[in-house]
Amino acid sequence: MPEPQADHDVASRIAALYASDPQFARAAPDPDVADAISRHDSLTGAIAAAMHGYADRPALARRAEHLVRDPVTGRRTRELLPAFETVSYAGLWQRVGHLATAWTDGNASGTSALRPGDFVATLGFTGLDYTTIDLACMHLGAVSVPLPTGAPAVRLAPVLAETLPRVLAADIGSIEAAVDAVLACDSIERLVVFDCDPRVEDHREAFEAAGAALSGRAEVALLQDDLDRGAQLPPAQPYEDDDPDRLVSLIYTSGSTGTPKGAIYTAAMLTRMWHNARGGLNAGGAGGNPVFVVHYMPMSHVNGRAWLINGLACGGTGYFTARGDMSTLFDDIRLARPTALSLVPRICDMVHQRHLLEADRIGRTGVPRPEAEAAASVQVRDGMLGGRIVTALCGSAPLSEAMHTFTAALLGTPIVDCYGSTETTRAIVVDQQLRRPPVTDYRLADVPELGYFTTDKPHPRGELRVKSIGLFPGYYKQPEVTARAFDEDGFYRTGDVFAETAPGRLVYVDRINNVVKLSQGEFVTVAALEALYATSPDIAQIYVYGSSEQAFLLAVVVPDAQRLNEADDATVRGRVLDSMRELAHGAGLHAWEIPHDVIVEREPFTVANGLLSGAGKHLRPALKEHYGPRLEQLYADIATGRAGQVAALRAAGSEVTPLQAVLTAAQITLGCPSSLIRAETAFTDLGGDSLSAHTFSTVLEQIADVEVPIQVILQPSSTLARIADHLDGAHLAQEPRPTFASVHGRDAREVAARDLTLDRFMDERLLTRPPAQAPLPTAGPAHNVLLTGATGYLGRFLAVEWLRRVAATGGRLTCLVRAADDEAAHQRVRECLRAAAADQPDWFDDVAVQHLTVLAADVSAPRLGLAEPVRQTLADETDQIVHAAALVNHVLPYHRLFTPNVTATAQLIELALTRRVKRFAYVSTVAAAMLPDGSFLDETADVRTACPVRQLDDSDANGYATSKWAGEVLLRQAHEATGLPVTVLRPDMILAHSRLPGQLNLTDRFTRLLLSVITTGMAPYSFYRLGPDGRRGRAHYSGLPVDFTAAAITSLTADNTHDHVTYNTVNTHDDGISLDEFVDWLIAAGHPITRFDDHRQWHQRTEAALRGLPEHQRRLSLLPLMQAYARPGESRPGSAVPAARFTAAVARLGVGGGAVPSLSPEFITKCVADLKLHDLL
């Protein structure tokens, strides 16, 4: 950490502001109000003193908005205006009083009133409504529990289970997670929705959906309605008591452990925060000066809460950033013109990037570089940052020395470095100096496992432990964790290592537990990462290095001598980076847990060279001392390279291709090595987030003069190549193709069958030809069959079934497969089909040579990605098309699956109608037949009229099911218009092969569940809701072996030459065989499995156990799908899907002996054996 800078003549700037800026002058803290605040020992008394003392001043501000109606859809959205609207201290306190009154009075639905000591949890981003709720809790004596912003329900569950709140308040953007949380927490009686505008259709529909989801379970109310109701009631008096240790709030922190812990905040602690802040910011800054601050930190973070209290206690104005993702942060800062700024390294990085761009722009006009940089500083400071910042503090993570110097020079004010934590409630080390008070005593303690000792030379080093005024008393309901947080003498263990360079002068060194906190606030357990990456065959040893001054990791790697001894460092570096990225993706790691670059070290870490302990463990202080300078230089080189690349890219201008611009801009923005920047890589896969996307967008817009919305950059399927396509508008030069937007409307929230007309996808003349020009198929077996999806799990068995059939008639099976060329495609298919025909390898080899053709194609590309002569040959010779290919993804939304699943189906329909009409078999999904009420379409129903509209949401598999439904709609139309013979198959879960060893779908839900139950040795008492008597109900699992499913599909589609026929291809038995029986069979087979009566306990313990599995098991476990098992399912004695036609056809054709098979203990035993063959058990 650099020494505090010399005075930047801040006093002169403040004097000038008092003289020239009336708003600044009016906002000076009032000593009389400060004294009034300090006289109150009660929390509500101190708050009320501030609110009354500064009654007429603006307290809080939020961005002004107006409603905009889409001219196409007619739907309304809120558009930001370039101004803030304020609420006074009196107005804020009135809102707080109205809400406290409404909540202490109960509510219109009859829910009982809140009482002092009741818990209120809040989920959402900081803002006026959030602040109102938080202060209202203090007003009425309730305990506020701010929840982590953006967290899914599964992360909220442990906190809610521990605190048992009666009310959950959530902003409209968090409402879905809030609904799930309410359903998982029985104590919650009311869901109060804030930041919700019912005039906006998206808001209103989300609010109504929440009400429907929680009907009969909890009341769903608007915050504004509570405020309006409270205004009509006699005002409630602020809660007062004489207990300074009364629980007021819980601030949950996971810190370096990953386990949520609720730090107790008492009335005395919060009161002290109001007292300490009453005179303005003075922690080394310009004390007692007017405070205008932009709030962008969440209220679940102690810094966000402290900055809010600080501003209100000294009569300042807090401006809330307009978007929780901070995409508007710099617009908000420019409009608010803050006097105080809370800095984090990422914000400083963005300011630095903007400064470089501005200096480049000015330099291109001929201005010398020093003058250009000086002019850029003025532009950024006075324009982008508002021009009146006189106080800047950094408290979440320290700035690098270079960034510290740059930011201080740019702002013209010292940067105050503060160290503190949730547990200390305030900074205890400021600019490397211990603060006394609040610290009353401190010590450094040896950390022998990391090699830090108080006897170290030249300075003592050890974990900082403190006693302090305002120190938290412990963690809520976690006495053992609390006990571990304090040593035997009552000192709080901070978990951070410091060096004491002089009495009371403390320099941060490291974090205990091998954990690094990066500059964005992420905790990274480097030891765990080293263990994972060391499994790479290319890596012999690895030391992962991170800094709280940087946003990404680096590493030192000793390559495997046998594999890479002859390779040069550049080759080793590329191999190692690729290997680590592959391992990280397989383990489900975050982007920031992947080192962005490495130093290649040929000399191993040993005991002899002092880098390993006698036990063979890393000696981190020695490794840091040995490699630290080189790693820090690598960070510096990356930063320098970014600056140079910006200038070169700007200078090249139009000579740079869009893809070159995008690739270079991504490297500049993210600091990744060029080896990781590939056209097919997504921006988010490289570690990009909303903040870096803002910078990335700015760079691209200045280079190409094209607006690149952040949404385009952050979309899951948006690769760098697709962003380049957006830049150059390549799609405009191509033949227009149907898209989700052109078919359904860009912002459609529901899709209708009437939207999906074939003339939008193909030449209308194909649909209106006279029968003579498009003869229907004749009876008899198909001679030439075209199959898509042959490399998929089901597709490979379909291919084998069809090979048997076409071989008998002397015909041919043609498979369309994604690949670089026909040879690669053929190799992929042969490998898959060999496995599917493993019981007859010689037969397959003979038949494949004579009857199998494989073409490299892309069914979602124009003309299937085939040369026109090849396509015409297929149109002439094919008798039947079997479309089994699809992008199967249960997370992606419908508009992302439109092209691969809907447009692709339309293109195959077009092929089926070209030259002559062909039979068409379509593998759909039973989910496409599900209706909103949970029932399913009958096999005889017309999908267009029985399910004319489907809602789009982010529920499990909504997008995938809708895309398959759309395919069914198109096929219905094709049959009606042209007589196209269509057979639709709707399978449910497709399970392992009943006979072939090792043939099971490793990534499907069933296999993941089976693996997870066996490896953890845990299962719930029942996967289904229990009956009234607490016993397991009769349930059914609707899965079928893949061999039966493939045989059924092939048989059912072989002879349809005229009709449109649908089969719900499901396990129809009312046999009581369910997931619970599978566990029974596993236990009977000798697998040690413990059953949990408490489903939630099973879920939590299983998730924790899965995270601890070896990487190869964890990757294929239920971990990514655990949310689907958070609550017991509904038990149905048999299949809910009507399948009479399917059952009858199976009997008539003799498929599988003429009956749909039941699952058995032998089948489960076979699946376990398959898992063992794959080395998973």
DSSP string, 59-92: EEEEEEEEEEE-TTT--EEEEEEEEEEEEEHHHH
Return d(Cα 1, Cα 173) in angstroms, integer. 39
| Residue pLDDT, tens place only, 175-189 | 999 999 999 999 999
| Residue 724 resides in a domain | yes
Return d(Cα 1041, Cα 1157) in angstroms, integer. 8
- In terms of domains, do 233 and 167 share one? yes
Q: For the ranges 260-264, 586-590, 1069-1073, which has the lowest average pLDDT?
A: 586-590
| Residue pLDDT, tens place only, 134-156 | 999 999 999 999 998 877 687 78
Nearest to 325 by CA among 590, 83, 684: 684
- In terms of domains, do 1023 and 1142 share one? yes
3-state secondary structure 362-405: HHCCCCCHHHHHHHHHHHHHHHHCCCCCCEEEECCCCCCHHHHH
- In terms of domains, do 689 and 755 share one? no
| Residue 408 resides in a domain | no
Model confidence at 450: pLDDT above 80? no
| Residue 796 resides in a domain | yes
CB of 548 closer than 8 Å to CB of 526: no
CB of 1031 closer than 8 Å to CB of 1040: no
Nearest to 957 by CA among 889, 866, 875: 889
* H or E segment to which residue 984 belongs: strand 982-985
- In terms of domains, do 528 and 610 share one? yes
Q: For residue 701, give the CATH number of its domain.
A: 1.10.1200.10
Last residue of a domain, one of 240, 256, 282: 240
Q: How are beta strands 750-752 and 190-194 bridged, if at all?
A: unpaired
Phi and psi of 143, rounded to 5°? -100, 120
How confident is the model at residue 715, as a pLDDT? 59
Average pLDDT over residues 225-238: 95
Model confidence at 703: pLDDT above 60? yes
**Helix spans in 511-619 (H):** 526-533, 561-564, 569-587
Model confidence at 277: pLDDT above 90? no
The 10 Å Cβ neighbour count of residue 615 is 6
Torsion of the alpha carbons at 421, 424, 425 and 427, rounded to the nearest 10: -70
How confident is the model at residue 672, as a pLDDT? 64
How confident is the model at residue 738, as a pLDDT? 84
Instruction: Name the average pLDDT for the chain.
Output: 87
Average pLDDT over residues 388-411: 82
Return d(Cα 22, Cα 281) in angstroms, integer. 20
CA 1107 to chain centre: 18
- When pLDDT is cut at 50, 70 and 90, the band that residue 100 belongs to is very high
Q: With a threshold of 0.75, does the pTM exceed it?
A: no
Q: What is the number of structural domains in the chain?
A: 5
Torsion of the alpha carbons at 364, 368, 369 and 374, rounded to the nearest 10: -100
- In terms of domains, do 179 and 219 share one? yes
Model confidence at 1149: pLDDT above 90? yes
- β-pair partners for 499: 461, 507
Question: Residues annotated in the binding site for AMP, as ranges?
Answer: 301, 396, 422, 496, 508-511, 517, 617
Model confidence at 512: pLDDT above 50? yes
- When pLDDT is cut at 50, 70 and 90, the band that residue 6 belongs to is very low
Q: How are beta strands 415-419 and 852-856 bridged, if at all?
A: unpaired
| Residue 708 resides in a domain | yes
How confident is the model at residue 731, as a pLDDT? 37
Q: For residue 794, give the CATH number of its domain.
A: 3.40.50.720
Question: Residues annotated in the binding site for NADP(+), as ranges?
Answer: 791-794, 818, 828, 924, 960, 964
Last residue of a domain, one of 948, 965, 990: 990
Cα dist. 759→766, 769, 909, 963 in Å?
Answer: 9, 13, 12, 18
Nearest to 202 by CA among 179, 175, 184: 175
Q: How are beta strands 492-502 and 461-468 bridged, if at all?
A: antiparallel
- When pLDDT is cut at 50, 70 and 90, the band that residue 730 belongs to is very low
| Residue 857 resides in a domain | yes
How confident is the model at residue 1009, as a pLDDT? 95
| Residue pLDDT, tens place only, 952-979 | 987 878 889 999 999 999 999 999 999 9
Q: What percent of the chain has pLDDT over 70?
A: 89
- When pLDDT is cut at 50, 70 and 90, the band that residue 1057 belongs to is confident
Average pLDDT over residues 1009-1034: 92
Tokens of 832: 């898959």
- In terms of domains, do 179 and 229 share one? yes
Nearest to 787 by CA among 765, 761, 762, 805: 805
- In terms of domains, do 55 and 192 share one? yes
| Residue pLDDT, tens place only, 562-574 | 778 788 988 999 8
Return d(Cα 746, Cα 749) in angstroms, integer. 9
Select the highest-mean-pLDDT range: 6-15, 164-173, 379-388, 452-461: 164-173
Phi and psi of 235, rounded to 5°? -65, 140
Last residue of a domain, one of 703, 733, 763: 733
Cβ neighbours of residue 948 under 8 Å, at least 6 residues apart?
Answer: 752, 753, 754
- In terms of domains, do 775 and 882 share one? yes
- In terms of domains, do 923 and 862 share one? yes
Average pLDDT over residues 1023-1039: 90
| Residue 420 resides in a domain | no
Model confidence at 327: pLDDT above 50? yes
Range of the domain at 931: 750-990
Question: Residues annotated in the binding site, as ranges?
Answer: 301, 396, 422, 496, 508-511, 517, 617, 791-794, 818, 828, 924, 960, 964
Q: What percent of the chain has pLDDT over 90?
A: 54
Average pLDDT over residues 458-476: 92
- In terms of domains, do 588 and 691 share one? no
- In terms of domains, do 997 and 983 share one? no
How confident is the model at residue 284, as a pLDDT? 35
| Residue 807 resides in a domain | yes
- In terms of domains, do 681 and 628 share one? no
| Residue 134 resides in a domain | yes
| Residue pLDDT, tens place only, 516-538 | 777 765 667 787 788 788 878 88
Phi and psi of 193, rounded to 5°? -100, 125
How confident is the model at residue 457, as a pLDDT? 67
Q: For residue 590, give the CATH number of its domain.
A: 3.30.300.30
| Residue pLDDT, tens place only, 422-444 | 899 889 999 999 999 999 999 99
- β-pair partners for 122: 146, 169
